[in-house]
Structure 1
């Protein structure tokens, strides 16, 4: 008697764990490479697509809209929509969609015509490309988080979870390195003419590589029958407490992450008197150190649990961020800046190395991706994405010392959530 009449079971997620890690990590690195490439090359893009001399008043308006829409709208939308795709049609399907979206939008950025050649159509094309990138990045965390954690063998969810930020950091470093290489080897005319397009065209090619790898990965969540598919807002409607937990867990961690990985070089430049190149170099060194720490944090959480690491990170930042940033304010040496940056990365690892596992352990499988995607992306947009803006605002009003206290307050809020969070490290994932 054959078993051909039985529904196909999802493949064993631990049959090829390295392939699973590669599928999630390579794709995630490519996603964030494309995202950060825009950040590092924004000044060159603006000169060609949003020139100050443009006669149309729509140009600066579209520039503002692009930043707003991607940072504060499309990421939560992507988390909701593509999280639902992952819950209904499988994680692998959602992962292939996100990387194709990112590859297509990266290609569109690379081929965007200049304002001089097509007028207002140029910023419109770029806005569309950035909207697609925001949608993709929002969906990537929801899909890759669930895929990574569900792919882990017994006692390895923390370790697998840590590769979320290993790959994110790898993408950021790659984008920074390629941008720096181009700027140092090309003239201003070449960079403004065609050099800024190269990283995006390369990103489109890398997305195809990531797509090929992901297509060969094992599915960790079988597609759901049409009659059993969860509604778009089922996670929020049926699991409101869990959704609020995601927000509480994420608030302190995300502002700490963006403060330390993105804003600290600017903070050192504005308040510590550092040259821009030295501040960025210190940030790059600490980012590489941060990537190495992630698997160690994940492994430790598999042994002692998630809550001790979360409290180490949340309370550590709440107590130490003010003195750490005051050290930077004092105009210290380059070596001291690197040490301060790395110290913050150690604290940050307590959150980043296990956030994917912590989030995935909260929801049942049927709404896991969408349950994580929307509240996480919304919280990142509200607190993480605005961290550089808040830091600059406090500086502008003459109270830069308030910013560390703002970060500390959010970390205390998250720490209160960590105290009440159930310990799920040694329990099976919810079915």
Structure 2
């Protein structure tokens, strides 16, 4: 229950920040363009808090925290007094209306730059991209990747972390190949060419690295317990943090994977586990719970996480930059994220990326909660990513979104007369239907992940 409220609270915090930024962009430019703003609302539905400024603009924090809006004076929806007609949005020049509408997504992009710059100033901790394993007959195996390869660059772009590697992979999805410069375990430099012409992300939530057959290096897992899930089989059976597992059903354990394999085959079957607790041997009888894997296989589940051995020296790096360098990196990274977001939309349309990978509010809430748990740097990175996605999404030419309004205004700019209200209304209905269908599909994906 705590986890649910943690994710919910993190989601509301993240969405509240990003919606405020987006709507403030509309609000600020509308004021500069001489448009009268009637209401600035964060959330929908019943107002929880409201107040007014000297311009008689109503500010609202509403009960349903799933968005927000800026209501401007507009003759198409309001009875506008003659003396205020010059303040109505619809009476402003088309370039002013374009600026007001475009300001929301632009504010999201500017926020991403600031969030990323702050992240780089605080310091980004990353893991050196060293290959731990390669899946046989995979794209990576065909390219000659080996365990111990340290990936230095991809298509001459230096990479410092697995996040960098994943980003470059996604940026080259749909291209014929990607050239990797690596340093092998002996210290020799080598070139590995990943053939990507037939590569697609077809499975739900499959990581790009896993899809090409690369497993990042991680220190070996010990048989000492670092975490016990409350209410799980291990907790009910008496296992405790710091216990060291010695044997299962009398068979001495040599590795964590051996334990996992035995437990998975013992769903709803009592097993005997020998442990060391504070140096003293004990034997516990535990019945693993039955859980169904994503592949539909029923497996035993204990609910424990082991302690990992320490990382080798030099594998964990913290990169920290000054203000100027951080701003430059923030601008560059934001540009890359915008380009990647548009690429992913194209890849979804062409089928390079399965629509099963779309996430809705539930998926975003889980990611928000996880990022908050990892600390300020992770949360800033998450906010920047979602802010860019929000900005790009709003630029799509669906009439209910900012991009749809921009489409109409650009047509008006070219034709020198506005699109008819009948045409606009029809477009809004189509756009609303498509947006609703997309939302339900994303929610369906979220539920299937639970």
Same fold (TM over 0.5): no
Q: Report the structure number with the largest CA radius of gyration.
A: 2
TM-score (norm 2): 0.26
TM-score (norm 1): 0.27
More strand by share: 2
